[in-house]
Structure 1
Amino acid sequence: MSEAAAASGRGVFYGWIVVLAAFLVMFTGFGAAYTFPAFFEPLSDAFGASRGTISLVFSAAGFLYFVLGAVSGPLADRIGPRPVVGFGMACIGLGLIAASFAQSLAAVIVFYGVGVGIGVGFSYVPAIGTVQRWFVARRGQASGWAVAGIGIGTMAAPPLAALVIGAFGWRGAYVIFGVAVLLLGALATWLLRASPASMGLQPDGAAAPAAKAGGPPSGLDLRTVLRHPVFWKLYAVGWLGCLGTFVPFVHLAPYAQDQGLSRLEGVWLVGLIGVGSTLGRFVLGGIADRMGRGRALALIILMTGVALLYWLTATGFTALAIFALAFGLFYGGFVALIPAYTIDLFGLRAASAVIGVLYTSVAFGTLLGPTLAGWAFDATGSYLWPIVVCAAGCLIAAAIVAFMPKHLPE
Structure 2
Amino acid sequence: MSSTLRTRRGAETQPDDPREGGWGIVVVIAAHLSFAIQNGLLRSPGVLYLSWKEDFSTNDRETAAVQSVFSSVSCFSGLLGGILTERFGCRVTGIVGGVLTFLGHLCTYWVTDIYQLYITASIIGIGIGIASNPVVVVVAMYFKRKYKLAHAVAISGEGTGIMAAPPLFQMVLQSFGWRGTFVIASAVAANIVTFSALFRPNGTKQKSKGGLHSSQQNLAKGEQNSDDNYGHSGGLVQLEPKGQAAEHGETPNSNMGYVSLVLDTKNANPILRLLKRLAVRFGFHLFVKSYRFVLLCAIQLQFNITYIGFVLYLVPRAQSVGVAPSSAVILLSIFGIGNLLGRLGSGLLVSWKILAEHVSAITMVIAGVSLLIMISERFSLFAIASFLYGFVSGVYFAIGFVLIRQCVGVRKLAVGVGFSQIFLGIGAVTGPVVAGWILDLTGDSYQTVYCVESAICFIGAVQMLLVPLLRRIEPGIEISPTDV
State the TM bucket, normalised to the shorter chain.
Answer: 0.7 to 0.9
Letter in structure 2 aligned against 1:360: I
1:119 equivalent to 2:127? Answer yes
Change (3 A) 1:22 1:243: same
The equivalent of 1:398 in structure 2 is: 461
How far 1:47 sits from its partner (Å)?
4.3
Higher mean displacement: 385-394 or 20-29: 385-394
1:285–1:351 CA distance, 2 compared to 1 (3 A): same
From 329, 335, 358, the counterpart of 1:273: 335
Q: How does 1:176-191 map to 2 (within 5 A)?
A: 176-182=184-190, 184-191=191-198
Aligned pair 1:344/2:406, yes or no? yes
Structure 2 gap ranges (5+): 1-15, 207-214, 228-282, 479-484
Task: Work out whether residues 37 and 250 of structure 1, in 8 Å CA contact, stay in contact via their aligned partners in 2.
Answer: no
Do 1:31 and 1:153's aligned partners in 2 also have CA atoms closer than 8 Å?
yes
Of 287, 307, 310, the match for 1:226: 287
- Counterpart amino acid of 2:468? P
Contact 1:243 1:366 in 2 (8 A): yes
Q: For residues 51 and 331 of structure 2, what CA distance do their matches in structure 1 show?
A: 18
Residue 296 of structure 1: how far off its partner (Å): 0.7
Partners of 1:162 and 1:267 within 8 A in 2: no
Deviation, structure 1 residue 31: 0.4
Supply the distance in 1 between the matched residues of 2:406 and 2:128 (Cα, whole angstroms): 24
Contact 1:60 1:109 survives alignment (8 Å): yes
Cα contact 1:248–1:270 (8 A) shared by 2: no
- Mark the structure with the bigger radius of gyration: 2
Residue 368 (structure 2) aligns with: 305
Q: Is the 8 A contact 1:81 1:126 kept in 2?
A: yes
Distance of 2:85 and 2:467 partners within structure 1? 28
* Unmatched tracts of structure 1, length 5 or more: 201-210
**Is the contact between residue 46 and residue 67 of structure 2 (CA under 8 Å) also seen in structure 1?**
no
Partner of 1:60: 69
Check the 8 A contact 2:94/2:193 in 1, yes or no: no
| TM-score normalized by the length of structure 2 | 0.72
Task: For residues 280-311 of structure 1, give each alpha carbon's deviation from its aligned partner in whole angstroms, at most 9, with x where no partner exists.
Answer: 11112221122221111111122222222222
Tell me whether 1:175 sits opposite 2:153 in the alignment. no
> Does 2:205 align with 1:142?
no
Q: Return the alpha-carbon distance in structure 2 between the equivalents of residues 43 and 371 of structure 1.
A: 23
Query: 1:24 maps to what in 2?
Result: 33
- The alpha-carbon distance between structure 1 residues 319 and 48, as it changes in their structure 2 partners (threshold 3 A), is farther
Shift of 1:168: 2.6
Change (3 A) 1:102 1:255: farther
Q: SS of the counterpart of 2:376?
A: coil
**Partner Cα distance (1:314, 1:174) in 2:** 38
Q: What is the aligned counterpart of 1:153 among 143, 161, 170? A: 161
Matches within 5 A, 1:308-387: 308-316=371-379, 318-373=380-435, 380-387=443-450
Write the letter of the residue equivalent to 2:135: A
Counterpart-to-counterpart distance in 2, 1:99 and 1:269: 30
Q: Deviations over 1:300-331 (max 9, x none)?
A: 12222222222232543x44332322121111
Deviations 1:175-234 (A, max 9, x none): 22222111x21221121124x32579xxxxxxxxxx99x755987854542203222211
Q: Does the CA-based 8 Å contact 2:98-2:189 persist in structure 1?
A: yes
1:73/1:356 contact within 8 Å kept: yes
Structure 2 equivalent of residue 203 of structure 1? none
Counterpart for residue 86 of structure 2: 77
How much has 1:366 moved relative to structure 2?
A: 0.9
> How many corresponding residue pairs?
389
1:396 CA drift (Å):
1.7
Does structure 1 conserve the Cα–Cα contact (< 8 Å) formed by 2:83 and 2:414?
yes
**2:197 match: secondary structure:** helix
Q: Relative contact order (alpha carbons < 8 A, sep ≥ 6): 1 or 2 greater?
A: 1
Q: Which has the higher helix share?
A: 1
Q: Is the 8 A contact 2:373 2:381 kept in 1?
A: no
Residue pair 1:298, 1:398 contacting (<8 A) in 2 also: yes
Partner of 1:204: none
CA separation in 2, counterparts of 1:167 and 1:377?
Answer: 38
Residues of 1 paired with 2:456 and 2:348: CA distance?
26
- Structure 2 matches for 1:72-111, cutoff 5 A? 72-111=81-120
What is the identity, as a one-letter code, of the residue corresponding to 1:232?
A: V
- Residues 199 and 21 from structure 1, CA distance in 2 versus in 1: closer, same or farther, beyond 3 angstroms? farther
Contact 2:153 2:344 in 1 (8 A): yes
In structure 1, the partner of 2:355 is 292
Offset of residue 28 of structure 1: 0.6
